[in-house]
Amino acid sequence: MQRFLVEPVQQFAGANTRIKKPTEIAFFSYDSEHKLKPLDNESLRYYYPPFFNIPGHQQDNRFPVDLSKGYDSFRQRDDSGDEHLDGLLDTLVEAETRNGKKTEVDLVTWRGMMTRILTAPYEMEDGFEMNATCFQGTIYIEENHAYKAASKEAQKARFSRNRGPPQDMAMFWGYKFETLSLLDKPWGETTREAIEGRENEVVDNYAQYCSICRTEIGGASMVIGGEVDGVLGYKPDDPQAPARWVELKTSKQPEHERDRWVLDKKLLKFWAQSFLLNVPKIVIGFRSRDGKLLNIEELSTQQIPSKIQQQGTYKWNGNICINFTGQFLDFLKHTIVGEGVWRIRREAKSTAIEVFKVEEQGTGNILTQNFIDHRNRL
């Protein structure tokens, strides 16, 4: 077993790890039945806020909007199955078949796994478990599904002990806010009725648009796939053009000092998630305790770390997160080599991340046969 110390986090201060801006190399949609459509924009949605709250003007009379409306007709997908890296790998197969060459990187994973790593210096409460394998010189990392299922149960129990809203309802509010804030087609092709009708639309989480980016942190190059909630105006044809992605979040409107602290801590996750896929804008729908949408705030992802440094009530340092990630990925590159499957584990409240082999041979269920065959052909 190898251990990588996360604490003390100050050991990662100072240096400025080189980073490369993520660029989209492929994308896919899950359609309205959650069927995978590689290299298809079908489920991309367009950001258009449900109301405008311009300072100095009369407040929009649709305030406050009830985020609970439609809860009974929520078309909620059962996401309890283990999807491994399937959607990401199937899309890479399509993309590589089209352009005839392999995507050569050190690491391939979902954005969620990279978020855990990036936030590790300041996320002491939650643990994580991942499976990793090395194939043709690239490390593939997936979430360990058994661990995910167990922590979901624990989260449920925590939720029911807290005095907050029921967990299912709080989750619905997040998707409801997306439905209120996004359009299926660009604004120019949308009728006024469709824009205003969003309040009565059935909320549904089957469809998703996912972006697959190539990026570098320190000496590690990687391909990361993750969901993007929406785009502002249009998706530029040129992958090098400034991205127009928008990440939507809901959060309780801070009232007390404690709420502020919770929000500043959440901003670490929001920032990390968005930073990794080059999402420049995060839109937060602030709600009351009982799910009334009170106002909307648009944040620039890039400016969040310095805002936290200046006025955060929960202090975290984005630079330390990046430096830590650079060094940790370097460690993974030296540890996960040759045949077999490894576990990457951080126990809750632990000061270290452990990496150990769980299978001597093969690639576990991390890679699909389709992907392996494709790579062996290419």
Rounded least distance, CB 177 to ligand A3P, Å: 6
Closer residue to Mg ion in complex, CB, 227/330:
227
Token pair for 242: 């400034």
Alpha helices, DSSP H only, in the chain?
Answer: 86-99, 111-119, 145-161, 167-181, 192-196, 257-276, 304-311, 318-335, 369-377
Beta carbon nearer to Mg ion, 4 or 209:
209
**Which segment (143-151, 157-165, 171-179, 216-224) binds ligand A3P by CB under 6 A?**
171-179
Among Mg ion, ligand A3P, none, the one that 250 touches (CB under a kind-dependent 5 to 8 A) is ligand A3P
DSSP code of 254? P
State the nearest-atom distance from the C-beta of 53 to Mg ion, in Å.
20
User: Residue 204 interacts with Mg ion (CB under 5 A)?
Assistant: no
249 binds ligand A3P (CB under 6 A): yes
Contacts of 90 (CB under 8 A, 6+ apart): 28, 36, 38, 368, 370, 371
Determine, following the binding rule CB under 6 A, whether residue 211 of this chain makes contact with ligand A3P.
no
How far is residue 280's CA from residue 247's CA, in Å, rounded to a whole number?
8
Please report whether residue 281 would count as binding ligand A3P according to CB under 6 A.
Answer: no
* Residues 222-251 contacting Mg ion, CB under 5 A: 227, 229, 248
CA-nearest of 35, 88, 30 to 371 is 88
Longest CA pairwise span in the chain (Å): 66
Which of ligand A3P, Mg ion, none does 372 bind, CB closer than 5 to 8 A by kind?
A: none
Angular region, 129: left φ>0, alpha ψ -120 to 50, beta rest: beta
Sole binder of ligand A3P in the list 229, 293, 296, 341 (CB under 6 A): 229
Q: Considering the rule CB under 6 A, would residue 171 count as an interface residue with ligand A3P? A: yes
Closest to ligand A3P by CB, 174 vs 239, is: 174
Phi, psi (5° rounding) for residue 197? -75, -5
CA nearest neighbour of 90 among 33, 41, 135, 30: 30
The helix/strand/coil state of 277 is coil
Residue 143 binds ligand A3P, judged by CB under 6 A: no
Question: Site for ligand A3P (CB under 6 A): which residue of 43, 250, 301, 323?
Answer: 250
The smaller minimum CB distance to Mg ion, of residues 124 and 169, is found at 169
For residue 347, the surrounding DSSP H or E stretch is none
Binding site residues, Mg ion, CB under 5 A: 227, 229, 248
Binding site residues, ligand A3P, CB under 6 A: 171, 174-175, 229, 249-250
